[in-house]
Structure 1
Amino acid sequence: MSSVLYDAQGPRAKRRNVLYTIVFLLVLAAAGWWVFKSLDDKGQLDWEKWKPFFAGTEAWTTYILPGLKNTLIAAALSMIIALPLGAVFGIARLSDHAWIRVPAAVVVEFFRAIPVLILMIFGVALFFKYTSVSSDDRPLYAVVTGLVLYNASVLAEIVRAGILALPKGQTEAAHAIGLRKTQTMTSILLPQAVTAMLPAIVSQLVVIVKDTALGGAVLTFSELLASANTMSSYYGANTIASFTVVALIFVLINFSLTTFAGWLERRLRRGKKSTGVVLPPAAMAGTESTGAAA
Structure 2
Amino acid sequence: MSSVLFDTPGPRARRRHALIGVLAVLGIAALAGYVIVRLRDAGQFTPAMWEAFAYEGVQRRILIGALETLKAFSLAVVLSLLLGVLLACGRLSEHRLLRWPATALVEFFRAMPLLIMIFALYNTGWLRSCVTTAGRFLRTELGRTGNWLADNFASPTLWALVIGITLYNGSVQAEILRAGALAVPRGQREAAYALGLRKTQVMLTVVLPQAVRSMLPAIVSQIVVTLKDTSLGFIITYEELLYAGKLLAQNTATPSGYPYIPVLLVVGPMYIGMCLALSACAKWLARRGRRRRNGIRIGPVPRP
User: What interval of TM-score do these two structures reach, taking the shorter chain for normalisation?
Assistant: 0.7 to 0.9
Counterpart position of 2:10: 9
Deviations for 1:170-227, whole angstroms, at most 9, x for unmatched residues?
11221222222222112211121111121111111111111111121x2111111011
Q: CA RMSD in A?
A: 2.4
Q: What are structure 2's unaligned runs of at least 5 residues?
A: 136-153
Relative to structure 1, the CA distance from residue 108 to residue 8 in structure 2 (aligned partners, 3 Å threshold; closer, same or farther) is closer
Relative to structure 1, the CA distance from residue 18 to residue 205 in structure 2 (aligned partners, 3 Å threshold; closer, same or farther) is closer
Report % sequence identity.
41
Q: Which amino acid aligns with 2:98?
A: I
Relative to structure 1, the CA distance from residue 155 to residue 14 in structure 2 (aligned partners, 3 Å threshold; closer, same or farther) is closer
Q: Which has the larger radius of gyration?
A: 1
Q: Contact between 2:109 and 2:168, CA under 8 Å: does it hold in 1?
A: yes
Separation in structure 2 between the aligned mates of residue 126 and residue 80 of structure 1, nearest angstrom: 23
Relative to structure 1, the CA distance from residue 269 to residue 219 in structure 2 (aligned partners, 3 Å threshold; closer, same or farther) is same
> Which among 209, 228, 238 is matched to residue 210 of structure 1?
228
Separation in structure 1 between the aligned mates of residue 15 and residue 215 of structure 2, nearest angstrom: 44
1:271 aligns with 2:292: yes
The SS at the match of 2:215 is: helix
Counterpart position of 1:58: 57
Separation in structure 2 between the aligned mates of residue 43 and residue 264 of structure 1, nearest angstrom: 45
Separation in structure 1 between the aligned mates of residue 78 and residue 125 of structure 2, nearest angstrom: 21
Task: Give the TM-score, by structure 2 length.
Answer: 0.84
1:277-292 aligned within 5 A = 292=304
Separation in structure 2 between the aligned mates of residue 248 and residue 91 of structure 1, nearest angstrom: 38
1:1-294 aligned within 5 A = 4=4, 5-10=6-11, 12-53=12-53, 55-61=54-60, 63-127=61-125, 131-134=129-132, 137-216=155-234, 218-236=235-253, 237-275=258-296, 292=304
Relative to structure 1, the CA distance from residue 164 to residue 45 in structure 2 (aligned partners, 3 Å threshold; closer, same or farther) is same
Q: Contact between 1:155 and 1:204, CA under 8 Å: does it hold in 2?
A: yes
Relative to structure 1, the CA distance from residue 48 to residue 196 in structure 2 (aligned partners, 3 Å threshold; closer, same or farther) is same
Relative to structure 1, the CA distance from residue 51 to residue 99 in structure 2 (aligned partners, 3 Å threshold; closer, same or farther) is same
Q: Contact between 2:72 and 2:230, CA under 8 Å: does it hold in 1?
A: yes
State the 1:241 CA deviation.
0.5
Separation in structure 1 between the aligned mates of residue 9 and residue 110 of structure 2, nearest angstrom: 46
Q: Which amino acid aligns with 1:251?
A: I
Q: Which amino acid aligns with 1:273?
A: N
Relative to structure 1, the CA distance from residue 207 to residue 127 in structure 2 (aligned partners, 3 Å threshold; closer, same or farther) is farther
Deviations for 1:16-53, whole angstroms, at most 9, x for unmatched residues?
33432332233222212211110100000112212433
Relative to structure 1, the CA distance from residue 127 to residue 243 in structure 2 (aligned partners, 3 Å threshold; closer, same or farther) is farther
Q: Which has the higher contact order (CA 8 A, sep 6+)?
A: 2
Separation in structure 2 between the aligned mates of residue 184 and residue 44 of structure 1, nearest angstrom: 60
Q: What are structure 1's unaligned runs of at least 5 residues?
A: none
Q: Contact between 2:127 and 2:156, CA under 8 Å: does it hold in 1?
A: no
Relative to structure 1, the CA distance from residue 15 to residue 151 in structure 2 (aligned partners, 3 Å threshold; closer, same or farther) is closer
Q: Which amino acid aligns with 2:105?
A: V
State the 1:130 CA deviation.
6.5
State the 1:254 CA deviation.
0.7
Q: Contact between 2:91 and 2:178, CA under 8 Å: does it hold in 1?
A: yes
Deviations for 1:129-156, whole angstroms, at most 9, x for unmatched residues?
7725359821111101101111111111
Relative to structure 1, the CA distance from residue 8 to residue 22 in structure 2 (aligned partners, 3 Å threshold; closer, same or farther) is closer
